Amino acid sequence: MNPMLGWGLAALLLVSSWWAYGYQGLAVAVTAVVFWLLLTFNRTVRAMKNAAGRPIGHVDSAVMLHTRLQSGMTMLQVVALTRSLGQKSADGTERYTWTDPSSVSVRIDFDARGRCSGWQLVRPGDAPPA
């Protein structure tokens, strides 16, 4: 979800509940917003906990990862999908690599907002990109 949309909906919920039910409605709305934030935090912690037990840059099948990627996915969604943190490239860009046991790898580029902007499947015999 777009963060601006989420915070806008939360503010709308707070204002409308205050207008309709007074401070009791505001208390219920604050409780709902805090619950939503806790769910988001829990999802992030769960993805990081799953990734903590695996080697960096490892994925079971790079080809399956390649088919499941979509443009605009967040880094958290990719980490949850791979259950591993990616190996950061040495050139300083936001490019991460995941490799499977057969040495097939997927290179994923992220933009400044942390969203997937492109990816490439690299097989062992392929020439490195220029």
Determine how β-strand 95-99 pairs with β-strand 87-88: antiparallel
- Tell me, what CATH number does 89's domain have? 3.30.1450
Which token pair is 22?
A: 């007074």
130 domain residue, yes or no = no
**Does some domain include residue 39?**
yes
Residues spanned by the domain of 110: 62-122
**What integer pLDDT is reported at residue 39 of this predicted model?**
93
Mean pLDDT of the chain: 89
Residue 16 and residue 66 in one domain: no
- Rounded to whole angstroms, the Cα distance separating 25 from 41 reads 24
DSSP-based three-state secondary structure for 43 = helix
Q: What global pTM score does this model have?
A: 0.75
Q: What is the pLDDT of residues 3-59, one digit of tens each?
A: 788 889 899 999 999 999 999 999 999 999 999 999 989 999 998 998 888 889 899
pLDDT band at 1 (very low <50, low <70, confident <90, very high): low
Count of structural domains within the chain: 2
In a domain, 127, yes or no: no
First to last CA, the chain: 35
Kindly report the length of the chain: 130
